[in-house]
Structure 1
C-alpha cells in the first residue's frame, strides 16, 4: 500500500505533528507498506496564482481581511508546489493540516484523503491577540472545518475535548474519530539525578496562548515564599523580549534561563525535575506526553487535551488557567516534596507508555488505512 503523509511545513518544532509523523516511516516497512512524507518548504512564498473556490461557503465574503488573504495565498502556494512535485498516484493520503487536506483532495480527487486536525489555528490567533472572537477571520477559519468534512473521506482529532470543539462547525460530528499522537519511546531516556535546587522546565513556542506570563508570575510568587528553583524556558517566538522584560520586572530574571529554539529538547529534559506549562488552550498538548516519557513531574492547566492526559494528584497536578497563585501552590508542593514528585513522575511515565506509545498509534492507523485498500 502506497501512503503519503502530507504535512504543512517540514516537521521541526517540538510537540505536535513533529513528535509523531517523522517516526512513522520506520513502522511502515516494504513490501506491504510504502510511505512518503511531503511538505511545503518555508522558502515557497507567493508562487501560486490559481483561483480558489470552496463548496460549502464563499470565501470572498471575508477577502478584505489580510489574515484571510494570507491564508488563501498559502493555499495557492501549497497547491502550486503539490502540482509541481507530486505526479505519481497514491493508495491513500493522510493530511495533517486543513490547507493540506483541501489541496490534496483537489489534486488527487480519486484518492482517499484522511484528515487529522491537530490544533485550532483560529483559537491560537484569538488567544495571541491577532484576531477577534466571532470576527471576520474567526468565521472564515471555522468555516474551513465544514469544507474539510465535505471534501475529505474521514476526519480525526487527537483528543475528545478537541472533537467537542469541532462539533458545532460540522454537520456530522459523530463521524470524527480520535487518534492521539504517538511517541517513539526510544527517543526518551530518563536519567536518575538528584538536583539540590528544583529545576523547572517548559517547552513551547513563545506566544500568549501558552500562558508563560502566568508562569513567570507564579515563579515570582514562589520566590516571595522563600522557595529556590531555576526555571528553564525552551523555545522561541514573538513575545520572547516581552517575557524577558517581565522576568526582570518581577525580580526573577536571575532564576530564569531563556534557551531559544532547540531542535531536540528531549535529549536534556530528563535532567530537570518538573515540567510546567499553563496553556490557555491545547488541542492535545504533545509536550506533556513527552515530559511524562522523560519521567518529569507535570503541572498543567485544566484545558483541552492537557486535562485528558493528567489525572490530578495521580500522574500530575492540574490548576485553573489564568491563576498564578494556584500554579505557584502546585509547584510548591512538588518542590518541597521530592518523594511525591517522583511518585507523580513514575505514574505519568507509565500512563504515557500505555496510552501514547507509537506502536499503539501505528496499530490504530494500520487498521484505518487497510479499510481503504
Structure 2
C-alpha cells in the first residue's frame, strides 16, 4: 500500500508533527507498505495562481482580511508545488494540516484522504494577539473545519479536548477519531544525574501562547524565596528579544539561558530535572510526552491535551494558566522534595512509554489505513 504523508512546511520544529511523522517512515518500509513525505518549502511564496472555491462556504466575503489573503495564497502555492512535484498516484493520502488536505483533495479527488488536525491556527493567532475572537479572520479559519469534513474521508485529532473544541464547527463531531501522537522510544535516553542546583527546562516556540512570560515571573518569585535554579529555554520565535529583556528586568537573566532553536532537544533534556511549560492552549502538547520519556518531572497548565497527559500529583503537576503564584508553588514543591520529584518523573515515564509509544500509533494507523486498501 502506497501512502503519502502530506505535511505543511518541512518538519523542522520540535514537537507535534515533527516528533512523529518522519519517524513513521522506517516503520512502514516493507514489501507491503511504502510511505513518503511531502511538504511545501518555505521559500515558495506567491507562485500559485489557481482560482479557489470551497464547497461549504464562500471565502471571498472574508477576502478583505490580510490573514485570509495569506491563507488562500499559501493554499494556491501548495497546489502549484504539488502539480510540479507529484507525478505518481498513491493509494491513500494522510494530510496533517488543513491546507495540505484541501490541496491534495483538489489535485487527487479520487484518492482516499485522511486529515489529522494537530492544532488550532485561529487559537494561536488569538492568543498571540494577531486576530480577535469573532473577527472575519476567525470566522474564515473556523469555516475551514466544515470544508475539511465535506472533503476528507476521515478526520482525526490528537486529544479528546481538541475534539471537543472542533465539535461546534462540524456537522458530525462524533465521527472525529482521536489518536494521540506517538514517539520513537529509541530517541530518548534518560541519564542518571544529581544536580546540586535544580535545572529547569522548557522547549517551545517563543510566542505569547506558550506563556513563557508567566514562567519568567514565577522564576523571579522563586529567586525571591531564596531557591537557586537554572532555567534553560530552548526555542526561538518573534518574542525572544522581549523575553530576554523581561529576564533582565526581573533580575533572573544570570539564571536563564536562551539557546534558540535546537534540532534535537531530546538529547539535551535528560540532563535537567524539571520540565515546565505554562501554555495558554495546547491541542496535545507533544513536548510533555518527550520530556516524560527523558525522565523529567512535569509541570504544566490545566489546558487542552496537557491535562490529558498529566494526572495532577501522580505523574506531574497542573496549574491554571496565567497564574504566577500557582506556578511558583508547583515549581517550589518539586524543587524542594527530591523524592516527590523522582516519583513524578518515574510515573510520567511509565505512562508515556505505555500510552505514547510510536509502536502503538503505528499499529493503530495500519488498521486505519487498511480500511482504504482497494
Q: Counterpart of 2:328?
A: 328
1:4 and 1:237 map into 2 onto residues whose CA distance is 30
Map of 1:295-306 to 2, 5 A cutoff?
A: 295-306=295-306
Shift of residue 253 of structure 1?
Answer: 0.7
1:152 and 1:104 map into 2 onto residues whose CA distance is 10
1:294 and 1:183 map into 2 onto residues whose CA distance is 12
2:73 and 2:164 map into 1 onto residues whose CA distance is 30
Deviations 1:336-369 (A, max 9, x none): 0111101100100000000000000000000000
TM-score, normalised by the number of residues in structure 2: 0.99
Shift of residue 208 of structure 1?
Answer: 0.1
1:196 and 1:339 map into 2 onto residues whose CA distance is 15
Q: Counterpart of 2:314?
A: 314
Q: Counterpart of 1:253?
A: 253
Query: For this pair of structures, how many residues does the alignment match?
Result: 373
Name the SS of the counterpart of 2:205 in structure 1. Answer: coil
Q: Counterpart of 2:11?
A: 11
Q: Counterpart of 2:342?
A: 342
Name the SS of the counterpart of 1:20 in structure 2. Answer: helix
Q: Counterpart of 2:67?
A: 67
Task: Please state if 1:370 is matched with 2:370.
Answer: yes
**Structure 1 stretches of 5 or more lacking a match?**
none
Q: Counterpart of 1:2?
A: 2
Task: Please state if 1:102 is matched with 2:102.
Answer: yes
Structure 1 runs of 4+ aligned residues shifted over 2 Å read none
Deviations 1:44-73 (A, max 9, x none): 110000001000000000000001000000
Name the SS of the counterpart of 2:202 in structure 1. Answer: strand
1:71 and 1:236 map into 2 onto residues whose CA distance is 23
**Structure 2 stretches of 5 or more lacking a match?**
none
Shift of residue 38 of structure 1?
Answer: 0.5
Name the SS of the counterpart of 1:53 in structure 2. Answer: coil
Q: Counterpart of 1:354?
A: 354
Q: Counterpart of 1:93?
A: 93
Q: Counterpart of 1:138?
A: 138
1:29 and 1:78 map into 2 onto residues whose CA distance is 26
Name the SS of the counterpart of 1:143 in structure 2. Answer: helix
Q: Counterpart of 1:124?
A: 124
Q: Counterpart of 1:170?
A: 170
Name the SS of the counterpart of 2:29 in structure 1. Answer: coil
Q: Counterpart of 1:227?
A: 227
Q: Counterpart of 2:192?
A: 192
Shift of residue 112 of structure 1?
Answer: 0.2
Deviations 1:198-246 (A, max 9, x none): 0000000000000000000000110111111000000000000100111
Name the SS of the counterpart of 2:133 in structure 1. Answer: coil
Q: Counterpart of 1:24?
A: 24
Shift of residue 29 of structure 1?
Answer: 2.0
2:23 and 2:195 map into 1 onto residues whose CA distance is 32
TM-score, normalised by the number of residues in structure 1: 1.00
CA RMSD of aligned residues (A): 0.4
